[in-house]
Structure 1
Amino acid sequence: MNIGIYIYDDAEVLDFSGPFEVLSTANRLGNKNWNVFLVSEKPDVVQARGGFPVHGHFSFETHPNIDVLIVVGGIHIEEVKKPAVISWISNVASTSKRVASVCTGSFILAEANLLNGLTVTTHWEDIADLSATYPKLNVVSDHRWVSQGKYITSGGISAGIDMSLHLVSELSTLNLAEQTAKQMEYHWQKCT
Structure 2
Amino acid sequence: MKRLFLYIIACLLLCGAARLSAQSQAAYYCLPCNNACDTIAFDAPGECPHCHMELIRQVVEERKRLQNDRLKIAFYLQDGVEVLDFAGPMEVFDYAGFDIFTVSKTRGPVTSQGVLKIMPDYTLDNAPAADILAFFGGNAGAASNDPAVINWVKRQANIRHYFSVCTGAFILGKAALLDSLTVTTFHKSIASLQEAVPTAKVLSGVRFVDNGKVITTAGISAGIDGALHLVAKIRGKAVAEKVAAYMEYDKWAPDAGLVTVP
- Fold match (TM-score > 0.5): yes
SS at match of 2:185: coil
Q: Tell me the CA shift for residue 132 of structure 1.
A: 1.7
Is the CA contact (8 Å cut-off) linking 1:45 and 1:55 kept in structure 2?
A: yes
Q: Tell me the CA shift for residue 8 of structure 1.
A: 0.7
CA separation in 1, counterparts of 2:129 and 2:136?
A: 19
**1:78 counterpart (117, 134, 142):** 142
% identical equivalent positions: 40
Task: Say which one has the larger Rg.
Answer: 2
- Identify the residue that residue 66 of structure 1 maps to in structure 2: 130
Runs of 4 or more above 6 Å deviation:
none
Question: What one-letter code is carried by the residue in structure 2 that aligns with 1:76?
Answer: A
- Identify the residue that residue 99 of structure 2 maps to in structure 1: 35
- Identify the residue that residue 190 of structure 2 maps to in structure 1: 127
CA separation in 1, counterparts of 2:102 and 2:253?
A: 25
Question: What one-letter code is carried by the residue in structure 1 that aligns with 2:87?
Answer: S
Question: What one-letter code is carried by the residue in structure 2 that aligns with 1:46?
Answer: V
**2:224 counterpart (131, 152, 161):** 161
Q: Tell me the CA shift for residue 60 of structure 1.
A: 1.5
**1:10 counterpart (63, 68, 80):** 80
User: Gaps spanning 5+ residues in structure 2: where?
Assistant: 1-70, 258-262
**1:21 counterpart (65, 69, 91):** 91
Note if 1:146 corresponds to 2:209. Answer: yes
Is the CA contact (8 Å cut-off) linking 1:2 and 1:64 kept in structure 2?
A: no
- Identify the residue that residue 137 of structure 1 maps to in structure 2: 200
CA separation in 2, counterparts of 1:56 and 1:161?
A: 21
TM-score, normalised with respect to structure 1? 0.93
The count of corresponding residues between Structure 1 and Structure 2 is 185
- Identify the residue that residue 30 of structure 1 maps to in structure 2: none
Q: Tell me the CA shift for residue 62 of structure 1.
A: 2.1
Alpha-carbon RMSD across the aligned residues, in angstroms, is 1.1
**1:111 counterpart (169, 174, 182):** 174
SS at match of 1:77: helix
CA separation in 2, counterparts of 1:77 and 1:43?
A: 20
User: Gaps spanning 5+ residues in structure 1: where?
Assistant: 28-33
Q: Tell me the CA shift for residue 50 of structure 1.
A: 3.2
CA separation in 2, counterparts of 1:171 and 1:144?
A: 19
- Identify the residue that residue 189 of structure 1 maps to in structure 2: 253
